[in-house]
Amino acid sequence: KQEVTQIPAALSVPEGENLVLNCSFTDSAIYNLQWFRQDPGKGLTSLLLIQSSQREQTSGRLNASLDKSSGRSTLYIAASQPGDSATYLCAVWSGNTGKLIFGQGTTLQVKP
């Protein structure tokens, strides 16, 4: 059974720091991995989607990497800003289940 774990559960950093969020998954048979952002009381916004054949994707200050063989992904946020404060969710499209499996999220607070 595919399981997705995100560490840490919560993170607080001062504005301007570069930071890394971690995601691990137990079954390497995935089609893609996505990173989402969730603001309080709101739905999820897709940030980056990495196909299983890709190693990384970049969008602005965000960079996501994927190492399928080791079952890991990282989301790198450069020069963090208070507006980056949100919960970040990692999800894999699992080949065995044919559906998106989410981690529990990392709640990020960027202090001004």
Partner 1 sequence: GAGVSQSPRYKVAKRGQDVALRCDPISGHVSLFWYQQALGQGPEFLTYFQNEAQLDKSGLPSDRFFAERPEGSVSTLKIQRTQQEDSAVYLCASSPRSSLLTDTQYFGPGTRLTVL
Residue 104 in the binding site for partner 1 (CB under 8 A): yes
Residue 64 in the binding site for partner 1 (CB under 8 A): no
One-letter identity of residue 35: W
For 45, the 3-state DSSP assignment is strand
Which stretch in 12-20, 36-44, 58-66, 67-75 sits in contact with partner 1 by CB under 8 A?
Answer: 36-44
- Taking the chain, what is the end-to-end CA distance rounded to the nearest angstrom? 41
DSSP 50-89: EETT-SEEEETTEEEEEETTTTEEEEEE-S--GGG-EEEE
Which stretch in 14-22, 57-65, 72-80, 100-108 sits in contact with partner 1 by CB under 8 A?
Answer: 100-108
Where do contacts with partner 1 occur on this chain (CB under 8 A)?
Answer: 4, 31-32, 34, 36, 41-46, 49, 51, 89, 91, 93, 98-105
